[in-house]
Amino acid sequence: MRNKGSQAMFLSLYYGLKSIYKDCEVVGFANKYDSPEQYAFKLLPYDDYTRLVFKYHLNRVPLLEPLLTRFASLLRKTDKWNSAIPEMEKALREADAIFDASGYTLGSGWPKGGGEMLLQTIRLAKRYNKKIILMPQSFGPFDWDDGGDNVEFLKKVKKELSYATKIYAREKEGYGCLKSLDLGNVELSTDMVIREKLFPTANDIYASYEKDETDYPAQGSVGFIINENVFRIGDSSAVFDLYAKALDRLVDKGENVYILNTSTADNHLVESVLNKTKNRDKVSVITKEYASPELIKILGKFKYIVASRYHSVVFAYRSGVPVIILGWANKYTDLAEHFQQQDYVFDIRNPGVDQIIEKIDKMGQNYEHESRCIIDRLENLQATSVVQDAIDALKG
């Protein structure tokens, strides 16, 4: 799975279910992934092609699906769909329940088509007469500005979401948006990767894992994580200036600084940011395709980080590592509040460079205290399991 946040949510769910039902089979339907055979679990492609087949019931037309699959495979030059539809049908028929571990699709941060993807998953559960749980994810706001009829769309949203046994909203805003639809199956829960105490190692998730070849930073360094989305949401030149000044400040303070790439989407920005710093040669870069368990282990080596990617913050908090957050959405503030870290959250649309530099200085002095606070809060959050709660809801 390419998106490491999505991967981590799936792994939390997978190993949470396996801890409760040791011999259960968990089959993952994933949008984007490379080489599924590398993993120790089953992944099937839940992408534009397979969604289309299921949406229009093309799998039920004799002989049609194999021909379509062959044509699509030749057109896209891939073999990932070979036998996928029959395997997905079998998994859906035999499933005891469906758990959706999406991150965010239903809200005006995306076009309505994104929300339709979630609704289609619920319709699929209906078709196969399966209960479905929407695990912790973001929702809302519901104020699309696309010229369409939001009222009619939200009627459809309410109808489909009402079918779910339970919906876990990750943020207060999303919870409020869902409750505004008069849904009675909604509960507030922090991110599943935070909430679940159990999380696998890299050795657990790969079919073959011979030795740890991770490029670890020096213990006690400071990590810096870029996100290409902040250049789209904030003012691009201001973001470059902020990143460069923050890196320069860290170096001037004598910190050992590493830029850690947690997403390949950010690779092209690293050199551009470094070229704007005064101390290009004093900033190290860790850039390699690591799985989420490896990223959690890397982040655990830092004394604190400056980050803009949501699940990088989640991974850091899971490791007891404080974060100066450069974000833009409510999900960052809500996450930080769980750990009493909201004073270290900044909106990239109105960053206030001087205030951020001041917080970097403060964090350099207080990171040990903040780490203890995070670890204490983490213990409280992990006192209960959202996966177990979901299982209980299915039984009830």
C-alpha to C-alpha distance for 70 and 129, rounded to whole angstroms: 29
**Token duo for residue 308:** 């803009």
* Residue matched to tokens 């490379």: 34
Length of the chain: 396
Establish how many alpha carbons lie within 13 A of residue 132's alpha carbon, considering only the half-sphere containing its beta carbon: 23
The answer to whether 311 and 302 have CB atoms below 8 angstroms apart is no
Give the CATH architecture of domain 222-381. Answer: 3-Layer(aba) Sandwich (3.40)
Q: Tell me the whole-structure pTM to 2 decimals.
A: 0.94
According to the model, what pLDDT value does residue 3 have? 84
C-alpha to C-alpha distance for 142 and 178, rounded to whole angstroms: 9
Distances (CA, A) of 109 to 83, 142, 272: 35, 9, 27
The answer to whether 395 and 133 have CB atoms below 8 angstroms apart is no
Q: Is 342 exposed, middle or buried (0-12, 13-18, 19+ CB in 10 A)?
A: middle
The answer to whether 279 and 246 have CB atoms below 8 angstroms apart is no
According to the model, what pLDDT value does residue 1 have? 65
Domain ranges of the chain: 4-208+384-395, 222-381
Look at residues 359, 143, 110, 321 and name the one whose alpha carbon lies nearest to residue 229: 110
The answer to whether 379 and 4 have CB atoms below 8 angstroms apart is no
3-class state of residue 118 by DSSP: helix
- Residue pLDDT tens, the chain, 396 long: 678 899 999 999 999 999 999 999 999 999 877 788 889 999 999 999 999 999 999 999 989 999 999 999 999 999 999 999 999 999 999 999 999 999 899 999 899 999 999 999 999 999 999 999 999 999 999 999 999 999 999 999 999 999 999 999 999 999 999 999 999 999 999 999 999 999 999 999 988 887 777 889 999 999 999 999 999 898 999 999 999 999 999 999 999 999 998 877 788 899 999 999 998 999 999 988 899 999 999 999 999 999 999 999 999 999 999 999 999 989 999 999 999 999 999 999 888 899 999 999 999 999 999 999 999 999 999 999 999 999 999 998
